[in-house]
Amino acid sequence: MKPNHIAIIMDGNGRWAKNHNESRKFGHKRGAITARDIVRFTGSLGIEFLTLYAFSTENWGRPLKEVNLLMALFIETLDAEIKDLNNNNVKIRFIGDRSNLKKSLINKIDKAELLTKNNQGLNLTVAMAYGGRWDIVNAAKLIQDKIESNELNQVDIDEEQFSSYMQLGLNPDPDLLIRTGGERRISNFLLWNIAYTELYFCDTLWPDFVSDDLELALDFYAQRKRRYGKNV
Our finding on whether 52 is near ligand FPP (CB under 6 A) is yes
Spatial separation of the C-alpha atoms in residues 54 and 73, rounded to whole Å: 11
Give the dihedral of Cα atoms 160, 59, 17, 30; nearest 10 deg: 50
Spatial separation of the C-alpha atoms in residues 192 and 187, rounded to whole Å: 13
Our finding on whether 11 is near ligand FPP (CB under 6 A) is yes
Shortest distance, CB of residue 104 to ligand FPP, whole angstroms?
A: 15
Rg over CA atoms, the chain: 18
Show contacts with ligand FPP in window 166-195 (CB under 6 A).
Answer: 181
Shortest distance, CB of residue 193 to ligand FPP, whole angstroms?
A: 18
Our finding on whether 206 is near ligand FPP (CB under 6 A) is yes
SS3 of 72-122: HHHHHHHHHHHHHHHHCCCEEEEECCHHHCCHHHHHHHHHHHHHHCCCCCC
Shortest distance, CB of residue 222 to ligand FPP, whole angstroms?
A: 26
Coil vs helix vs strand at 30: helix
Our finding on whether 77 is near ligand FPP (CB under 6 A) is yes
Count of residues near ligand FPP by CB under 6 A: 20
Our finding on whether 88 is near ligand FPP (CB under 6 A) is no
Our finding on whether 139 is near ligand FPP (CB under 6 A) is no
* Residue 109 neighbours by CB under 8 Å, 6+ apart: 78, 94, 98, 101, 128
Our finding on whether 101 is near ligand FPP (CB under 6 A) is no
Nearest residue to ligand FPP, by Cβ distance, number only = 14
Beta bridge partners of 7: 51, 177
Q: Rule CB under 6 A: which residues touch ligand FPP?
A: 10-15, 28, 31-32, 35, 52, 54, 59, 70, 73-74, 77, 126, 181, 206
